[in-house]
Structure 1
């Protein structure tokens, strides 16, 4: 159980203005790929036109952060490039419907708040995972194959991937907190495609989902079923370290001696799924993990975390760019959601 999950594949940050988001991420010290938008031939044979959503990517060796915005010719960044979607005529209508559904979900997400609404876990066995979900009674749309554009030093290459999206009753392709799913990339040899990030970021290591306190048991059970693994009680983890470290693993670890009573303070309202890199926190306990943060909506993803080579150097870069930084422990800082377009960005010392 849970052996089919390898961590996070990517998180999707839904934004209103892709140009603004690209610039903000560069201020945060990330190398951001060139924004792109899909172009689809008209069903009636008319001229091809932009459709669905535009995106830009922050790549790491094994995962990435995706910036997502609705296609709007009046707000596309000037450097954005079109990516033609080439499909057989008999598949065009189906693809157009899927693109419209994706755009409709993005509208729903933005109506809630600007921030992270997409969390996709990585798997090496998408077919086995889909079968496991089916056996557990989890609704999903089946396994889909896609080609996703990836920017490399020699231009855009299309990488094959396969994915599954979880669906709640009456919510095709999503659950109340957003789009949750799993992806498996086919092995593709693309040398030197991952840029060096000025902030020293080395990988995506976790995300934090905030829920109403009373909803935590139900959501914990739901995610245990999704990931096929048991959850871990924060208090048990803190106790294992003698009460001197919170250590929420890949997301909000090393809370330090100043918060060595956090296990008692949160009353068990923090749980984690280590292999998936997901931590779930009750709303009343969020301030204990990310001081000063407040959820924009419940349930909702409030933070994601990246590892960095040299945390002190990262802090110097952020402050030099005028970005506010809050320390949440001796090995970790974060940029508040107000300064990062709706999601707190956690930087944690690698290793």
Structure 2
């Protein structure tokens, strides 16, 4: 595989109520920008309307956490949400509408399973190399796509170019694997990274460092094989770590050794993610002051249980 994976690019936490999720993340000590939602005419010449999904991002210098919700009622958007007008030629409007509908339907289907993390995207410096490697290994994917998405910077809202691909497994909708959405995105441009360096979080968080997937014990060997093809071979066992991608896979019988008291809503499921912090003691104090329930992982790290964090456990880890 070489060095075509640099850790996590982002995870997507799918929620029912974006206002509730933003408030929770602020209580967890993260800086959360106002959500954004696309607006565009549903027919050429028609009025621009909210459509698809609304989201916001908790940014770190090299990656981020996405909070995303489906726009179910265009007349009731989150109070602080910002509209992002999409400009598209009339002849391209039907295709864009179809793509947005498909994305919203996919997000809604994940939410039907459970509220929590369903999207895990690894970071790569060379998306074309990843695409070629996956193709050679017989891994299905939708090819490399190039998009631009709005990002809040100190200079205002800018459009960030992103090149990405999503893995597709047979007998599932495009861009889907049994665990949710897994893919790769190319490194964020340097200027955006420099701006993110100035984004501070009251809890001292510095980066997204790990995502944990729980699977039924009999499924673990096949999943190790599949993830090894995606990310490079990891350490095998009841807990398999794919360190280059920042992904850990744990058998259901071993989950309590990592996250005491955790019970996944279903299997397979992404059950937790971890962020690094500058001072774990200070982070723990902030969570306590904000009346956030916390416990300890099997390694003694602080984590907020999933039932207090909208379906996914949030682990805080002292940075090296």
Hey, what does 2:235 align to over in structure 1? 232
Out of 208, 213, 218, which is 1:209 matched to? 213
Hey, what does 1:122 align to over in structure 2? 123
- Root-mean-square deviation (CA, aligned residues, Å) is 1.4
Q: What secondary structure sits across from 1:58 in the alignment?
A: strand
Q: What secondary structure sits across from 1:189 in the alignment?
A: helix
Gap regions ≥5 residues in structure 2: none
Hey, what does 1:257 align to over in structure 2? none
Q: What secondary structure sits across from 1:132 in the alignment?
A: helix
- How much does 1:31 deviate? 0.3
Whole-Å separation in 2 of the counterparts to 1:294 and 1:186: 35
Hey, what does 2:62 align to over in structure 1? 62
Q: How many residues align?
A: 316
Whole-Å separation in 1 of the counterparts to 2:95 and 2:222: 35
Whole-Å separation in 2 of the counterparts to 1:341 and 1:74: 24
Hey, what does 2:153 align to over in structure 1? 152
Do the aligned residues in 2 keep the contact of 1:149 with 1:156 (CA within 8 Å)?
yes
Q: What secondary structure sits across from 1:338 in the alignment?
A: helix
Whole-Å separation in 1 of the counterparts to 2:195 and 2:213: 33
Q: TM-score, normalised by structure 1?
A: 0.87
Hey, what does 2:4 align to over in structure 1? 4
Hey, what does 2:200 align to over in structure 1? 196
Hey, what does 1:53 align to over in structure 2? 53
Hey, what does 1:318 align to over in structure 2? 287
Whole-Å separation in 1 of the counterparts to 2:299 and 2:70: 39
Q: TM-score, normalised by structure 2?
A: 0.95
Hey, what does 1:301 align to over in structure 2? 270
Gap regions ≥5 residues in structure 1: 234-267
Hey, what does 2:308 align to over in structure 1? 339
Whole-Å separation in 2 of the counterparts to 1:116 and 1:217: 23
Q: What secondary structure sits across from 1:174 in the alignment?
A: coil
- How much does 1:89 deviate? 3.0
Q: How does 1:1-351 map to 2 (within 5 A)?
A: 1-71=1-71, 72-169=73-170, 170-185=172-187, 187-190=189-192, 191-193=194-196, 194-227=198-231, 229-233=232-236, 268-328=237-297, 332-351=301-320
Do the aligned residues in 1 keep the contact of 2:212 with 2:247 (CA within 8 Å)?
yes
Hey, what does 1:250 align to over in structure 2? none
Do the aligned residues in 2 keep the contact of 1:159 with 1:188 (CA within 8 Å)?
no
- How much does 1:280 deviate? 0.1
Tell me the alpha carbon deviations over residues 185-211 of structure 1, each in whole angstroms, 9 at most, x when there is no partner.
452424534421000000000100000
- How much does 1:76 deviate? 2.3
Do the aligned residues in 2 keep the contact of 1:331 with 1:348 (CA within 8 Å)?
no
Structure 1 residues 140, 158: closer, same or farther in 2, change over 3 A?
same
